[in-house]
Structure 1
Amino acid sequence: MEALLVEGSLPANLRGRFLQSVPHPAHGADPVSITGVRLSDGTAAWHRARTDHSLLGTVPSLAPAVRDGLRIARPVQDPRTGEWHTIATRPGSPLAEHVTMSASGSVRRGRCFVLSGPTRIDTVALTPDHVVVFDVSVVHDRAAELIGLRTPFAWRSSKQARIGLLPRRSRGNPLWFPVSPCFVPDAVNAFEDGQEVVVDALRQTSPTGPRELTRWTLDLGTGEADEVFLTYADSAIARADEHGRGHHETYGTVGTTVFRYGDAAYSFGADHRLGQPALADEWLVIPVRHGASSDLAVFDATDLAAGPRSVVRLPVTVPVATRTAWQPLAYPIR
């Protein structure tokens, strides 16, 4: 593997692969490829993931949004069992399928349920007892598809958005909670707190509106959802550090700034573009683009204001990715 230039000092205990799904025009109908950087023992090198034609591919958390005519929500992994969970939909149909896969991505089981329409579902969240489903106000638009629009979906403000809790241990249907009209591009986390389920996610309340980090508290007793705005964030937000459990920190980017929700931020300055951060234990890894230069910045997650501890210089220009993942070297990657 090609060694990469590092400015500063990479943490010796940062051992894994930072991977990102980026556009690749040579790939036709599924124009993405996975590229990455291997960090180990204070050094950095290129990593190229092998191609796979299974449902999830070689890197489950970076599964393609569309495969074999199905739209696949970004999968989430159960930290206890290693299984992956996603929601698959077919454009134009109100039917959805909860798909459960092994740690390697092979399908183990699936079950269907009905949405309120041909909803676009981009993300899913998980608790020990529930799969969290986002039945939102963006739907498949047949007319847009017929005229060849790249994204055949339309905003329907009149469509009631709702969040569903699909039971994991029974064959029941989702318990639905009405929420304000919105689109949810990415979930951060969900966890159970007694008779309540707390869901943190990015949402948009209009087609061109800003993305808001939002917390919904779903009351299983009353069937009502409490909705609280937390902060603004771009589409690039790190998954929580305690997925499926009450998390401690949430990290994201807005404009040229990386932040930890509540108390810390660092700005890269003008003309920088930031991709989705990935949390690697006590380190935060962020793809950065400045003009024609592409870098990988490594922060101490507990001290963002101090700036990057190290920067890996990439020899080629890489598009800023909003779908990234960190996988420790101990994790079996083919």
Structure 2
Amino acid sequence: MEALLVEGSLPANLRGRFLQSVPHPAHGADPVSITGVRLSGGTAAWHRARADHSLLGTVPSLAPAVRDGLRVARPMQDPRTGEWHTIATRPGSPLAEHVTMSASGAVRRGRCFVLSGPARIDTVALTPDHVVVFDLSMVHDRAAELVGLRTPFAWRSSKQARIGLLPRRSRGNPLWFPVSPCFVPDAVHAFEDGQEVVVDALRQTSPAGPRELIRWTLDLVTGEVNEEFLTYADFAIARADGHGQRGHEIYGTADTTVFRHGEATYSFGAGHRLGQPALADGWLVVPMRHGASSDLAVFDATDLAAGPISVVRLPVTVPVATRTTWQPLLHPVR
């Protein structure tokens, strides 16, 4: 592994791999190449994951969006059981399948349900009792597929967008809640609050529109939906130990700014492009690009306004990462 230049001081207790999926020229637009940085003992080294062609690959949270003709929503892991959950769809079909996998990615069970049409589903969310399903305004377009467009999907504002709560403890169908036309590229967090389910997600209300961090509150008794705009954000994540709980914290990036919702921000200034951050043992790791340079900035998650405590310089220029994850190291690197 190639040692990397570090400006500033990496925390000695930051031990793990920051991984990102980036487009690979041999595989069209699907992010199937996984690269990253291994951090341990105050040092950084370049890391490349080995190839794997199972449903979820070697890193489930970075699973390719398309596999063997199926479109697979970014899997979500239940922190209590270690199981992974995703929704698989086949282009042109209204059928969807909720797939449950072991911690290693082995398929355990699946069950089908019907969408309102052949929708594009990129993400899911979990609560202890539900899988949150997004049946929204981006749909498969057969005509676009026939003419060979790289992304055979189209925006249909006339289609009723809806959020479904698929029960995890029974075989029932989703309970659907209508929402305004939109598309959700990333779910951030979901939790249960009595007879309500609260869903935080990034949404777009038009194909080229900005991403909004939105909070939907779904009333299981009345079927009503309350919608609350939180902020604009390109990427957002929730602290892992807060999943399924009300008191979670949300971190993200918006244009050139890193933020913790409702509290602190830090701006890198013009010319910087920021990717999806990852939380790592109390630190926030942010991929970024400035000109031809690609870097990782490490923040104290409790003091973003102070700026990064260190910046790792990457050996190659990589696209701004839209899918990232953090893997703690179980043993010290020798």
| TM-score by shorter chain over 0.5 | yes
Measure the CA separation in 2 of the matches of 1:123 and 1:325: 15
Q: Percent identity?
A: 88
Measure the CA separation in 1 of the matches of 2:45 and 2:246: 34
1:312 aligns with 2:319: no
| 8 A Cα contact 1:30 1:67, kept in partner | no
Cα RMSD, aligned residues only: 1.2
Measure the CA separation in 1 of the matches of 2:247 and 2:64: 27
Measure the CA separation in 1 of the matches of 2:177 and 2:162: 5
| Gap runs ≥5 in structure 2 | none
Instruction: Indicate how the Cα distance of structure 1 residues 324 and 307 shifts in structure 2: closer, same or farther if over 3 A, else same.
Output: same
Residue aligning to 1:60: 60
Deviation at 1:245, TM superposition (A): 2.2
Deviation at 1:248, TM superposition (A): 2.4
Secondary structure, aligned partner of 2:188? strand
Measure the CA separation in 1 of the matches of 2:317 and 2:209: 29
1:192 aligns with 2:208: no
Supply the AA of the counterpart residue of 2:60: P
Secondary structure, aligned partner of 2:236? coil
| 8 A Cα contact 1:25 1:32, kept in partner | no
Residue aligning to 1:105: 105
| 8 A Cα contact 1:17 1:37, kept in partner | yes
Number of matched pairs:
330
Deviation at 1:149, TM superposition (A): 1.0
Secondary structure, aligned partner of 1:26? helix
Deviation at 1:31, TM superposition (A): 5.2
TM-score, normalising length: structure 2: 0.97
| 8 A Cα contact 2:76 2:125, kept in partner | yes
Residue aligning to 1:329: 329
Supply the AA of the counterpart residue of 2:236: I
Residue aligning to 1:12: 12
Secondary structure, aligned partner of 2:100? strand
Instruction: Indicate how the Cα distance of structure 1 residues 141 and 54 shifts in structure 2: closer, same or farther if over 3 A, else same.
Output: same
Secondary structure, aligned partner of 1:145? helix
Residue aligning to 2:237: 238
Secondary structure, aligned partner of 1:238? strand
Measure the CA separation in 1 of the matches of 2:174 and 2:19: 33
Measure the CA separation in 2 of the matches of 1:240 and 1:217: 20
1:79 aligns with 2:79: yes
Measure the CA separation in 1 of the matches of 2:28 and 2:264: 41
Residue aligning to 2:131: 131
Deviation at 1:196, TM superposition (A): 0.6
Residue aligning to 1:174: 174
| 8 A Cα contact 1:240 1:247, kept in partner | no
| 8 A Cα contact 1:201 1:213, kept in partner | yes
Measure the CA separation in 2 of the matches of 1:4 and 1:188: 31
Supply the AA of the counterpart residue of 1:205: T
Residue aligning to 1:275: 275
Supply the AA of the counterpart residue of 2:291: G
| 8 A Cα contact 1:184 1:202, kept in partner | yes
Secondary structure, aligned partner of 2:158? coil
Measure the CA separation in 1 of the matches of 2:307 and 2:321: 21
| 8 A Cα contact 1:259 1:304, kept in partner | yes
Measure the CA separation in 2 of the matches of 1:30 and 1:74: 13
Deviation at 1:29, TM superposition (A): 7.1
User: CA deviation digits over 1:169-193, x for unaligned, max 9?
Assistant: 1000000111111100000000011
Supply the AA of the counterpart residue of 2:136: V
Displacement over 4 Å in runs of 4+? 28-31
TM-score, normalising length: structure 1: 0.97
Residue aligning to 1:215: 215
User: CA deviation digits over 1:67-126, x for unaligned, max 9?
Assistant: 000000000000000000000000000000000001111100000000000000000000
Deviates more, 1:123-132 or 1:42-51: 42-51
Deviates more, 1:86-95 or 1:241-250: 241-250
Measure the CA separation in 1 of the matches of 2:253 and 2:15: 24
Secondary structure, aligned partner of 1:245? coil
Supply the AA of the counterpart residue of 2:140: H
